[in-house]
Structure 1
């Protein structure tokens, strides 16, 4: 019943047609009385539990570390009242990102497939941060209440019944209030989207990234939607119109073009998304072909993925050969060290693997890749007592 409760409440909050600017309550008015920040936190926690129970998520340390670092590069410029965010990556090839009341930011791993660089992906994240900082959830509930308070009261009463001890009566009330006819469960109004675009670009620029990445990302979304339905998940909840694309382009022209960011982490994760959702069993052959012409950090990212594929295929020596070709700049990267340790353990060199990890943890004591890899190796070799402190730290993080 909790699942239905959360889905209906969020549907109530974000469904319906767009409102005019005059219908959107400004921050600081009765919105804060209708839904408090604490209530948003409670709703967000319920929603996140339901998501994790019903949708596969990805907790890869390199991905979570990159996501965390990327978000907190933007947060100082976001005007968020609460900056303790919860981040989630959904295991889906579809193009999507979302912000949920209570400080939850999520992306589909498939988002990497549609972004050429970190600036484009950051434009999506900055947009989502605005939905939280400007409390679009509470403001849209407020607008819905002012538009039709009787229907809202009926729906809320139905939700309470469903969540407690009379689900049949609650569902009957739901149908009578037409809440079952939900077509855009998390759809933001166009006014909120324009506000998120405008303030999101400010966040992007202040964090040192290229403003032009936002209209380019919009164009990529529209192009993807033209040829594939995979973009629909995002566009259904974030209505993208030609005027929004045009406005973003005009706004970006006010700023100089800045160099784009394509880090090792981003490139390795982008290749990982290709491998997971598109190339699959053909990944190794495709990456080896690309390796012939790759240079710099692109080559290192390919080598990392090829080494990981060799690990999965139980060819640790081949994997270590790939890692030996990584440039000096990234050979000591914690993710490379963690992968090397996995390869050593797979090659029955467990002592060398744990020694390497403990040595690297002295340099990078908080690194998730190193800590998770060491805990897994210790558990796999029947040394759970040594793994418990690491697991406690990982859980706390």
Structure 2
């Protein structure tokens, strides 16, 4: 497997793990609190190598980003994409802490999660990094998760994708055309999904996997080495990379018949572990506590597993037996499980108890608002969201849920005004456009309704649906001159993008 799909981490599901994609919500909870600044880079055992950019002549940064955005649109439109602001927000806080630990990142990074219990993380062209929920749950410390993200970030910063395109340009372009499908195949609907992913990618590229092994190993070694330095620069535990690799080894040692051949003889269980241990030995011991955000996000993901009743029982048992890493996170997970089970009265009681012991936190504000909203206490929910947004104005769970509560309370005009303000801050946020479409539909403003729905479809990669919505917007006849002109201009742009996409698809089919 090529390095930038995260071959070193594309392992099979942990025994007993469940696929939770069908249980995960469209909108989840919020974002993470800021992390402390990283230590000075001069404390590292060695500097980051300047490898230059021999791929630049073949694939520019703009082209690489465009490829990544194209794949991401397909991923966002899939059933496996986890559009949970709590999880996504946390991953972006953690990921960008790692990115910013070393100056000179070539892209603005976007981190996202796939609702998949298998153990996988992967980098896409142009600064997009995905992590399966199963991998987050397998990590036991925040430093372990940071080691995975640092590895994947390095695949991007070292231009491994562009180098691959330089070496196998036609074949790799064909592979990129099918990359989104390969990512979606990796969702663990069966224990053989790891092999299915390998087969999908091999078929898409038209290349034998064996012809890529040496190249892939070189990239994996580089990603380990530089990713380790990035993780240490960001202030995380140097031993965590080796520790997590060892857990990966143990989690798959007795699972027969599922691991791809490449992973069976890949040095993830031997040389890579030894190298990671050797790098950590030369550094002073550093005990790095996990953030509350990390523990709460893991609890939230755990609350989505199994049936709602099973999730509630899991947290009740864990709390009764004190089998948890963080008490606040365990009680938060119980509230989330009760909310999922629609036991709103008990959820309210548990939330009240949680707030007596927990520090102020945006994730607690988010779930408190949801308990109130789902209980029909709309005025109280609105008041709570308003106060929380003053304190946490960039926490997307609150940004999404406040207009939702307003619309439920028949205040669509106020919701539309708020969403217009937020879209000035986050103009490319697909879920915000979808909420705006609903608000304008409630107000009977058809041009704006269809225009925002078009932006949501474009964000998902469904350009044909976006074109149809923009055509409806222009025909609505209820917009002013400026709104109509904006819709017509956007329609021309999306139509051209659709033409370009179809041309690229045709080229990829011929190259394959």
Please tell me the TM-score bracket, short chain as reference: 0.7 to 0.9
8 A Cα contact 2:338 2:346, kept in partner: yes
Equivalent residue in structure 2 for 1:221, among 230, 242, 248: 248
Residues paired across the two proteins, number: 356
CA shift in 2, pair 1:380/1:323, >3 Å:
same
Question: Is residue 45 of structure 1 aligned with residue 73 of structure 2?
Answer: no
Aligned to 2:505: none
CA shift in 2, pair 1:236/1:102, >3 Å:
farther
Shift of 1:103: 1.0
Shift of 1:285: 1.1
**Counterpart-to-counterpart distance in 2, 1:333 and 1:230:** 45
8 A Cα contact 2:97 2:234, kept in partner: yes
CA shift in 2, pair 1:320/1:295, >3 Å:
farther
8 A Cα contact 1:291 1:302, kept in partner: yes
Runs of 4 or more, structure 1, over 4 Å off, are: 10-16, 155-162, 181-188, 228-233, 235-239
**Counterpart-to-counterpart distance in 2, 1:77 and 1:231:** 37
Post-superposition CA distance 1:29-67 (Å, at most 9, x none): 542101111110111111111222335211212112211
Aligned to 1:348: 376
Aligned to 2:206: 180
Aligned to 1:315: 343
**Counterpart-to-counterpart distance in 1, 2:108 and 2:394:** 18
Q: Taking structure 1 as the reference length, what is the TM-score of the superposition?
A: 0.79
Q: Which runs of 5+ in 1 are unaligned?
A: 1-9, 17-25, 146-151, 163-176
Aligned to 2:150: 126
**Counterpart-to-counterpart distance in 2, 1:389 and 1:268:** 32
Equivalent residue in structure 1 for 2:230, among 200, 203, 207: 203
Aligned to 1:100: 124
Question: Is residue 191 of structure 1 aligned with residue 215 of structure 2?
Answer: no
CA shift in 2, pair 1:219/1:295, >3 Å:
closer
Question: Is residue 337 of structure 1 aligned with residue 365 of structure 2?
Answer: yes
Post-superposition CA distance 1:376-396 (Å, at most 9, x none): 222333333222344452653
Question: Is residue 298 of structure 1 aligned with residue 322 of structure 2?
Answer: no
CA shift in 2, pair 1:361/1:223, >3 Å:
same
Question: Is residue 81 of structure 1 aligned with residue 105 of structure 2?
Answer: yes
**Counterpart-to-counterpart distance in 2, 1:195 and 1:12:** 10
Aligned to 1:324: 352
CA shift in 2, pair 1:334/1:13, >3 Å:
closer
Moved more, 240-249 or 258-267: 258-267
Aligned to 1:260: 288
Q: Which runs of 5+ in 2 are unaligned?
A: 8-49, 179-202, 430-512
**Counterpart-to-counterpart distance in 1, 2:153 and 2:177:** 33
* SS in structure 1 of the partner of residue 77 of structure 2: helix
